A and B are shown apart, each in its own frame.
Chain A
Amino acid sequence: MKRAQLLTGLVLVALVVLTAVVAVFWTPFDPIRVVPGQRLLGPGWPHVLGTDGFGIDIASRLMVGARTVLLVGIISVGLSAVVGVPLGLLAGQAGGWVDEVVMRLADIVYAFPALLLAILLASVFGASTLTAMAAIGVATIPAFARVARAGTLEVMASDFVLAARASGTSRWGIARRHVLPNIAPLIGVQASVGFAMAILAEAALSYLGLATPRPNPTWGNMLRDAQQFLFVAPLQALWPGLAIALAVLGFNLLGDGLRDYLDPRLREVP
């Protein structure tokens, strides 16, 4: 059962990654060029999923959208992990006022609405994939910091850290050799769940026009384009919606599956 979850997650994620990689080199049609004569075609051949209001092949746009989704996920999750994990580690290891300051800062960022941040960045720099990634990345830093801090506290309380301290290992050595390897699985799980969140957030932001602008395709702005033809061509909205749902589901399942797979308590034979 748990294995099936992990496997389903892996397959869905692999599908997204594969699509994105293929889209770098090849798409069935040009995903950007407007073809006025072919507007709003239903699914068929050669346009497998049909065409949109500009006569562009939907399948091609979805494939390029997968690329954007992965890029946004990797950069925003990467950003929040690179900032959040060291902060959490520092807070957990140092304790005292350092811990207090770091975690209160995290609370403040957490309380600040991500949407507001996205609007702010978009209005200053103009809406782009980059502003969306920055907004999502910054907004999810507290989650990483908290997970890293909780894991660090647990590892720091263990006897092997005490043993390392007793033999003169420096803080840096303890962080590198003991804490990081032992919290890595936690971070991996958080990254996977964070990825799912980033996909959803990116879709929402580009739907609102606060991320990647037209004509570059993303699943979110495809959804937005499809909206005006909802009664004429309802299938048009289905495809990007389905892609978002499956990708989010995939990363969530992967995260949950990893959590169970990596939890030794659920694996060990008595």
Chain B
Amino acid sequence: MAEHTATPGELYRAEALTRRYRDGGREVLALDSVDLHLDRGQRLGIVGESGSGKSTLVRLLAGLDRPTSGRVWFEGTEITRLPERDLGVLRASVQMVFQDPRSSLNPRMRVGDIITEPLRSRLVRRQLPAGTDHQHRLAEVLEAVDLPEDAGRRYPHEFSGGQRQRIAIARALAPKPEVLIADEPVSALDVSVRAQVLNLLTDLVASQGLTLVVVSHDLMVVRHLCDRLVVMRQGRIVEEGATETVYETPATAYTRALLDAVPRIRTSRG
């Protein structure tokens, strides 16, 4: 296992990450030698269209998939070739929130069991302080995401879309992670609910001192949440920098197109 001398504060480092897969006989290059680093406390946005490789990249970071070639270090340890049973630290410190809370919550489990599931996992349990009280932690995270205390006894379908996304966020917070990876956290939500979830994420990142990675096709969402930005296209990073800089003065035509595509209210049509 290759150790890596991390610069202080460095959380993630990825080198030459490539991921190919076969889709019905056709070879797809989802990720094409991507380099990335992420420091503790940073808020990184990954922007691109579907098929740009942004979701593949964060799945590799979360250890949910293995690269075809290239390496990922988390806190100085290479995770790309570790067997699942040695991923305990990663599993406890990196949590994910997915796009559609209708499909990311098991419809046949009670909300309380969904949220405490990460605490019950054997890998994560070893990383937690002894005697972690599940019910106590459940109450804490429910409060943190502004859901009623009795929510734990109910089922996902009893909640609205925005509330279900809060449940997914509560589940991610339960094992007190360092990194929160949010894959399109608001794109399945109504615009009117979007603001609430974005506010919640902003508050949580500040209050829990989280490092944040946000994947989105919407530059506005990323602009609101992140201080650093990478723009991806066809498996490669085409632009990268401080969010405001990229937003104000995009260096590539592709980034400009992404910006222009954001719908703005038109008060008089052509």
Q: A159-B98, A163-B98 are in contact. Are A170 and B122 (CB under 8 A)?
A: yes
Contact with A along B196-217 (1 / 0, CB 8 A): 0000000000000000000000
Across the interface, A159 reaches (CB within 8 A) one of B91, B104, B122, B172, namely B104
Answer yes or no: A2 CB below 8 A from chain B CBs. no
> Which residue of chain A is the closest to B121 with respect to CB atoms?
A168
What is the minimal beta-carbon distance from A72 to any residue of chain B, in angstroms?
32
Instruction: Decide: B121 and A170 in contact? CB cutoff 8 A.
Output: yes
In the bound complex, residues from chain B placing their C-beta under 8 Å from that of A178 are: 106, 109
Answer yes or no: A3 CB below 8 A from chain B CBs. no
In the bound complex, residues from chain B placing their C-beta under 8 Å from that of A162 are: 64, 96, 98, 104
In the bound complex, residues from chain A placing their C-beta under 8 Å from that of B172 are: 167
How far, in angstroms, from A190 to B269 measured CA to CA in the complex?
Answer: 57
Contact with B along A147-173 (1 / 0, CB 8 A): 000000000001110111111111001
Contact with B along A122-153 (1 / 0, CB 8 A): 00000000000000000000000000000000
Instruction: Decide: B123 and A159 in contact? CB cutoff 8 A.
Output: no
In the bound complex, residues from chain B placing their C-beta under 8 Å from that of A165 are: 64
In the bound complex, residues from chain A placing their C-beta under 8 Å from that of B122 are: 168, 170, 173
Answer yes or no: A181 CB below 8 A from chain B CBs. yes
Answer yes or no: A104 CB below 8 A from chain B CBs. no
How far, in angstroms, from A250 to B62 measured CA to CA in the complex?
Answer: 50
Q: A159-B98, A166-B96, A167-B175 are in contact. Are A173 and B121 (CB under 8 A)?
A: yes
Across the interface, A167 reaches (CB within 8 A) one of B91, B108, B109, namely B91
Instruction: Decide: B87 and A168 in contact? CB cutoff 8 A.
Output: yes
Answer yes or no: A182 CB below 8 A from chain B CBs. yes
Instruction: Decide: B121 and A163 in contact? CB cutoff 8 A.
Output: no
What is the minimal beta-carbon distance from B225 to any residue of chain A, in angstroms?
20
Answer yes or no: A177 CB below 8 A from chain B CBs. yes
In chain B between 91 and 145, which residues have their CB closer than 8 angstroms to a CB of chain A? 91-92, 94-96, 98-100, 103-109, 113, 117-118, 120-124
Instruction: Decide: A164 and B117 in contact? CB cutoff 8 A.
Output: yes
How far, in angstroms, from A258 to B92 measured CA to CA in the complex?
Answer: 40
Q: How many inter-chain contacts with C-beta < 8 Å in the A-B complex?
A: 71
In the bound complex, residues from chain A placing their C-beta under 8 Å from that of B13 are: none
Across the interface, A160 reaches (CB within 8 A) one of B87, B91, B94, B105, namely B105
In the bound complex, residues from chain B placing their C-beta under 8 Å from that of A173 are: 120-122
Answer yes or no: B168 CB below 8 A from chain A CBs. yes
What is the minimal beta-carbon distance from B173 to any residue of chain A, in angstroms?
11
Across the interface, B91 reaches (CB within 8 A) one of A158, A168, A177, A182, namely A168
Instruction: Decide: A182 and B95 in contact? CB cutoff 8 A.
Output: no
Most central of B62, B94, B106, B124 by chain A CB within 10 Å: B106
How far, in angstroms, from A170 to B118 measured CA to CA in the complex?
Answer: 10
Instruction: Decide: B117 and A166 in contact? CB cutoff 8 A.
Output: no
How far, in angstroms, from A167 to B64 measured CA to CA in the complex?
Answer: 10
How far, in angstroms, from A169 to B113 measured CA to CA in the complex?
Answer: 13
Instruction: Decide: B106 and A166 in contact? CB cutoff 8 A.
Output: no
> Which residue of chain B is the closest to A184 with respect to CB atoms?
B108
Answer yes or no: B250 CB below 8 A from chain A CBs. no
Instruction: Decide: A167 and B103 in contact? CB cutoff 8 A.
Output: no
Answer yes or no: B66 CB below 8 A from chain A CBs. no
What is the minimal beta-carbon distance from B64 to any residue of chain A, in angstroms?
6
Across the interface, B108 reaches (CB within 8 A) one of A163, A169, A170, A182, namely A182
Answer yes or no: B161 CB below 8 A from chain A CBs. no
Answer yes or no: B171 CB below 8 A from chain A CBs. yes
How far, in angstroms, from A168 to B119 measured CA to CA in the complex?
Answer: 9
How far, in angstroms, from A89 to B219 measured CA to CA in the complex?
Answer: 41
What is the minimal beta-carbon distance from B167 to any residue of chain A, in angstroms?
11
Answer yes or no: B88 CB below 8 A from chain A CBs. yes
What is the minimal beta-carbon distance from B105 to any residue of chain A, in angstroms?
6
How far, in angstroms, from A160 to B98 measured CA to CA in the complex?
Answer: 9
Instruction: Decide: A159 and B100 in contact? CB cutoff 8 A.
Output: yes
In chain A between 160 and 205, which residues have their CB closer than 8 angstroms to a CB of chain B? 160, 162-170, 173, 177-178, 181-182
Instruction: Decide: A177 and B109 in contact? CB cutoff 8 A.
Output: yes
> Which residue of chain A is the closest to B106 with respect to CB atoms?
A160
In the bound complex, residues from chain A placing their C-beta under 8 Å from that of B104 are: 158-160, 162-163
Q: A167-B91, A167-B121, A170-B121 are in contact. Are A177 and B106 (CB under 8 A)?
A: yes
In chain B between 223 and 269, which residues have their CB closer than 8 angstroms to a CB of chain A? none
What is the minimal beta-carbon distance from A269 to any residue of chain B, in angstroms?
12
Q: A162-B104, A164-B117, A167-B91 are in contact. List 14 more A-B contacts (CB 8 A).
A: A158-B103, A159-B98, A159-B100, A160-B103, A160-B104, A162-B64, A162-B98, A163-B105, A164-B106, A165-B64, A167-B172, A168-B92, A168-B121, A182-B107
